Amino acid sequence: MTRPATFDIGGEDTVSRLGFGAMRLTGEDILGPPEDETAARAVLERAVELGVDFVDTADAYGPGVNERQIRESGIADEVFLATKAGLLRNAEGDWLKHGDPDYLRNQCLVSQDRLGVDTIDLYQYHRVDPDTPFEAAVGTFADLRDEGFVRHVGLSNVDIDQLERAQEIVEIATVQNRYSVANREHDAVLEYCEANDIGFIPWFPLGAGDLGDVGTILGEVAAAHDATRYQIAIAWLLDHSPVMLPIPGTSSLDHLEQNVAAASIDLTDDEYARLSSAQ
């Protein structure tokens, strides 16, 4: 199948459609630093060497650790950087929704400092906080864009209603929802993104546990391409929609190279159809 190699985020910034999610470069349970900071930095540097030009992170990864790693790796000026705000971490590692406008505005400044950038390329509302009026939170992201602190605004973990309400306040450049060949709960959101030229960033792109028929077919297609099931899952995502922007993450150089290589796997029409029909 023929797939576009790039996507224009916000209609302005062209990125390769296979990016990198930096979250796994932190410590266990996404808390604290990794055991080997040098190895983590090497993964970021190697990703750029392999042609990755879109890197996703969040203030909550570490927390703060992941953004600092990106600055210290020296890649910030070489890639399109996406980060997020709207989740806190406590000492037990719980993810706590927090969309207070004052917090979001302050966190934007903190993230700029950690990343070492004057403007954040893509700033995403990480999780909708039910205790904060949605329009107030999104309005803060809109203000930050208008004031030049961020270039583009994105949403994460949203439904169509929330996406449409946000679009009335500010242009939404991307949506980051859970999606994979094994989990297509957000098909309707993906279709909305396609219709409105909004980038769709799938997280958890393979899933876990028993994948049933999908897992069986992934295995068969992987064997035919001398690839891994994970590589085939990434290739399927790239074929599935021209607005799809997978950001597979890893702390392993070998896995990183496998992930990037997945963009070169050409699924046949039959293989794509078999995977698409197996849910």
d(CA 243, CA 76): 24
Evaluate whether 43 touches 73 at the Cβ level (below 8 Å): no
Evaluate whether 96 touches 68 at the Cβ level (below 8 Å): no
Q: Which one is catalytic: 61, 123, 179, 230?
A: 61
In Å, how far are 209, 210, 211, 272 from 216, measured between CA atoms? 12, 10, 8, 14
H-helix segments, the chain? 37-49, 65-73, 101-115, 134-146, 160-167, 187-196, 212-224, 229-240, 253-261, 269-277
d(CA 192, CA 212): 28
To the query of whether residue 230 is one of the catalytic residues in this protein, the response is no
Query: Which positions are annotated as active-site residues?
Result: 61
